[in-house]
C-alpha cells in the first residue's frame, strides 16, 4: 500500500510538471514571438501601416522577454519549495500559491491578456492541496470562471490591448497558418492538460474514499470478531471463577474435615474411656471430662479459624514442631492410644503451605488410626533426605487389605500433590502412610 501511494503521488507530480512546463514554454514562446514580430515590423518599415490598424502595441517587447524570464524563475522557486521542502506546512503552501497567483496575474497583464493559461497552473496547485472533494469542485468552477474573466476578447471590450493575432497577420501564406495553428493549440492544450489534472485528482480522491470505506469495513468485521472473542472470554472467566469456587470449597471442606474429624475422634475416645472408668474412679472420670471439655473448646476455635483462615490455629501460635507435639500430647491424654513423635530435622520450619500440609497429614493419619484402625500405638517419624522431607506414620491397628480412599485419604493425596510430593499407603501389618515432600529450602530460618 505504501509503494502504491508513492507511485500515485509521483504520477500526480509528473502531471503537474507537465502543466507547469507547458505554461513556461507558452509564456516564453509568446513573449519571444512578440519581440521577433516587432523586430520584423521595424526591419520592413511597415510600422506606420501596422500602427494604423491596431489599437495598441507593447512598449518594450525585448524587456517583456526578460521580465517573463524573471517571473517564471520565481514561479519555479516557489514550486520547488512548496513540493519538496514545505509540503507538510499548510501555511507556507497556501502562501506560496498566493504568491504564484500574484506572479501569474502580472504575467497576464504584461502580455496584455493574450495568454491567461498560466492562471490554470495556479488553480491546479490549489486543487491538489485541498483535501476535501467538495472543495475541489468549487475551486474548479472558480478557476474556470477566472480563466474566462481574464480572456483577451472579454477584457479588450473595455480596454485598449494589443492582440497577438495582429502580429501573426504580418506573416503571409503558410507561416500565417502555422502560427495561428500553434497559438490556438497552445490555448487548447493548456485547458486540456488542466482538465486532465483535475480529473486525475478527483479520481484519486475517489479511490482514497473507496479505500477508506474498505478499511472501515475491515475494521467493522475485526470489531465484531473482537466482540465475539470478548463474549467467549467472559464465558471462560465465569467458568474459571466457578472452578476456583469449587476448588476453594473442596479446600475448605478438607480443612473442616481434618479439624472436626480429629477433634470428634478424640472426644469419642475420651467419652468411651469415661464410660469405662466412671464406676471405678469418679475423680479420674471428672478429670478426663475436664480434658474432653477443653479439647472440645479448642476444636470449636479450630473450626472457626479453619473457616476464616484455613490455617491450623496451633501453627499461628506455635512452631510446626511444637504444634505437632501439642496435638500428640492432647491425643495421648484423651485416648488410650499412645502416639510417639520422632523428629530428626534440626530446624522444622518451612513455607506456610508446606507446614499446613505436614500438620494436616499427621492429624488426619492419627484420626484414621484411632477411628478406623482401632490402633493402640502410632509411630510418627519426620526425617530429611537431601532436599526432601520424609514423613512416615505407622500404627498397629487392624489395617486394610482392600483399601478404598475415603474423604480424608483423598485430601492427604491432594495436599501433597499440590506441593509436587508423593504419597503411599499400605494396609498390611497395621496401616502405614509414607509421604515425600520436596521442600523449598530457599530461605534461612532462625
Residue ranges per structural domain of the chain: 2-170, 241-438
pLDDT at 206: 60
Neighbours of 272 (CB within 10 A): 12
**pLDDT tens, position by position, 341-390:** 999 888 777 888 888 888 889 988 898 888 888 889 999 999 988 889 99
Distance CA 288, CA 336 (A): 12
Which range has the worst mean pLDDT, 57-66, 305-314, 436-445?
305-314
Say if residue 73's pLDDT is above 90: yes
Confidence of residue 133 (pLDDT cuts 50, 70, 90): very low
For the chain, the first-to-last Cα distance in angstroms comes to 67
CA dihedral 259, 264, 269, 270 (to 10 degrees): 100
Q: What residues does 92 pair with on adjacent strands?
A: none
Domain 241-438 belongs in CATH node 3.40.50.300: no
Distance CA 427, CA 399 (A): 5
Confidence of residue 134 (pLDDT cuts 50, 70, 90): low
C-alpha R_g of the chain: 53
Q: Mean pLDDT of all residues in the chain?
A: 79
Higher pLDDT, 411 or 338: 338
**pLDDT tens, position by position, 257-295:** 666 666 777 777 778 778 877 777 777 777 777 787 777
pLDDT at 442: 46
Say if residue 255's pLDDT is above 90: no
Distance CA 349, CA 237 (A): 37
**pLDDT tens, position by position, 159-180:** 888 888 888 888 888 888 888 8
Say if residue 17's pLDDT is above 90: no
The mean per-residue pLDDT over the stretch 2-12 comes to 54
**pLDDT tens, position by position, 287-308:** 777 787 777 777 767 666 665 5
What φ, ψ does residue 378 adopt, rounded to 5°? -125, 125
Higher pLDDT, 391 or 183: 391
Distance CA 136, CA 223 (A): 34
Amino acid at each position: 500500500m505504501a509503494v502504491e501511494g508513492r507511485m500515485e503521488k509521483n504520477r500526480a507530480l509528473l502531471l503537474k510538471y507537465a502543466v507547469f512546463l507547458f505554461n513556461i514554454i507558452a509564456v516564453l514562446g509568446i513573449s519571444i514571438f512578440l519581440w521577433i514580430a516587432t523586430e520584423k515590423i521595424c526591419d520592413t518599415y511597415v510600422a506606420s501601416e501596422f500602427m494604423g490598424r491596431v489599437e495598441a502595441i507593447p512598449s518594450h517587447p525585448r524587456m517583456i522577454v526578460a521580465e517573463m524570464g524573471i517571473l517564471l524563475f520565481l514561479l519555479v522557486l516557489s514550486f520547488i519549495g512548496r513540493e519538496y521542502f514545505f509540503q507538510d506546512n499548510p501555511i507556507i503552501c497556501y502562501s506560496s500559491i498566493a504568491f504564484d497567483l500574484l506572479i501569474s496575474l502580472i504575467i497576464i497583464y504584461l502580455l496584455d491578456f493574450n495568454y491567461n493559461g498560466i492562471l490554470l497552473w495556479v488553480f491546479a496547485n490549489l486543487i491538489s492541496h485541498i483535501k476535501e472533494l467538495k472543495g475541489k469542485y468549487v475551486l474548479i468552477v472558480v478557476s474556470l470562471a477566472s480563466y474566462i474573466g481574464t480572456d483577451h476578447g472579454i477584457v479588450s471590450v473595455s480596454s485598449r490591448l494589443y492582440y497577438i493575432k495582429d502580429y501573426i497577420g504580418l506573416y503571409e501564406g503558410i507561416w500565417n497558418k502555422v502560427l495561428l495553428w500553434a497559438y490556438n493549440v497552445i490555448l487548447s492544450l493548456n485547458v486540456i492538460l488542466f482538465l486532465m489534472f483535475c480529473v486525475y485528482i478527483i479520481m484519486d480522491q475517489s479511490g482514497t474514499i473507496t479505500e477508506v470505506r474498505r478499511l472501515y469495513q475491515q475494521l467493522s468485521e475485526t470489531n465484531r470478531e473482537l466482540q465475539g472473542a470478548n463474549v467467549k472470554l467472559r464465558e471462560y472467566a465465569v467458568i474459571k471463577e466457578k472452578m476456583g469456587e469449587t476448588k476453594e470449597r473442596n479446600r475448605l471442606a478438607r480443612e473442616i474435615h481434618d479439624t472436626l474429624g480429629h477433634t470428634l475422634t478424640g472426644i469419642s475416645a475420651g467419652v468411651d474411656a469415661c464410660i469405662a472408668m466412671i464406676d471405678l474412679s469418679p475423680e479420674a472420670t471428672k478429670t478426663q471430662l475436664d480434658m474432653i471439655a477443653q479439647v472440645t473448646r479448642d476444636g470449636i476455635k479450630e473450626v472457626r479459624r479453619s473457616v476464616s483462615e484455613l490455617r491450623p490455629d496451633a501453627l499461628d501460635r506455635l512452631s510446626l514442631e511444637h504444634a505437632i507435639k501439642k496435638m500428640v500430647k492432647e491425643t495421648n491424654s484423651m485416648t488410650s492410644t499412645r502416639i510417639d513423635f520422632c523428629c530428626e530435622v534440626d530446624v522444622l520450619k518451612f513455607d506456610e503451605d508446606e507446614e499446613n500440609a505436614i500438620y494436616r497429614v499427621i492429624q488426619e493419619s492419627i484420626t484414621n488410626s484411632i477411628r478406623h484402625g482401632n490402633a493402640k500405638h502410632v509411630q510418627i517419624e519426620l526425617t530429611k533426605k537431601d532436599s526432601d522431607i520424609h514423613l512416615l506414620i505407622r500404627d498397629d491397628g487392624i489395617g486394610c487389605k482392600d483399601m478404598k480412599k475415603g474423604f480424608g485419604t483423598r485430601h492427604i493425596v491432594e495436599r501433597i500433590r499440590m506441593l509436587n510430593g508423593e504419597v503411599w499407603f499400605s494396609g498390611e501389618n497395621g496401616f502405614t502412610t509414607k509421604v515425600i515432600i520436596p521442600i523449598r529450602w530457599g530461605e534461612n530460618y532462625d
